[in-house]
């Protein structure tokens, strides 16, 4: 069971960083630029997830962890994009 807790720490960290980045993009960019900013965040989150798991000590379940991290990041960015679209 301890493995499951360790498994979720990098995933939740990526989600947190993407959420903070999305909030910063919404607050500091106009509507058109924020959609581009979300694209940069999506690409950066995939690169970060790959790097985190590249340096992890165990490779068991790496595809599942990549899917959870990337899927959660995309869901956060989708909600932020929906917020931007509904705001304007």
Q: Which residues, at least 6 apart from 15, have a Cβ–Cβ distance to it below 8 Å?
A: 69, 72, 73, 76
> What's residue 53's pLDDT?
72
pLDDT 10s digits, 6-22: 778 888 888 999 999 99
**H-helix segments, the chain:** 2-28, 31-54, 62-87
pTM of the complete model = 0.83
Give the residue, 56 or 22, on which the prediction is more confident.
22
* pLDDT bracket for residue 74 (50, 70, 90): very high
């Amino acid at each position: 069971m301890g493995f499951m807790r360790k498994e979720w720490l990098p995933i939740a960290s990526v989600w947190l960083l993407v959420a903070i980045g999305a909030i910063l993009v919404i607050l500091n960019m106009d509507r058109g630029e924020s959609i581009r900013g979300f694209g940069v965040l999506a690409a950066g989150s995939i690169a970060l997830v790959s790097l985190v798991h590249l340096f992890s000590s165990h490779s068991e379940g790496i595809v599942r962890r990549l899917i959870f991290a990337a899927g959660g990041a995309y869901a956060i960015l989708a909600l932020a994009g929906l917020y931007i679209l509904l705001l304007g």
